[in-house]
Amino acid sequence: MSKIINISLFIFLIVGCSYEPILLNKSSSFKFINIITNGDKDFNKILSKKLSDKNDGDKEYNIYITTKKKKEILSSDTKGDPKIFKIKLDVKFKIEDSGKFILNNKITKEFTYNNMKDKFELLKLEENIINTIAQKISNEISKSVVHKN
Q: Average of pLDDT values for 110-129?
A: 94
Say if residue 146's pLDDT is above 90. no
Q: What is the model's pLDDT at position 98?
A: 87
Q: pLDDT tens across 17-56, in order?
A: 555 555 454 556 788 889 999 999 999 999 999 998 876 7
**What is the topology classification, in CATH, of domain 26-148?**
Double Stranded RNA Binding Domain (3.30.160)
Contact 71, 86 (CB under 8 A): yes
Q: What is the pLDDT of residue 11?
A: 61
Q: Tens digit of pLDDT for each residue in 60-96?
A: 899 999 999 999 999 999 998 999 999 999 999 999 9
Query: What does the CA dihedral 40, 43, 48, 54 come to, rounded to 10 degrees?
Result: -150
Reported pTM: 0.77
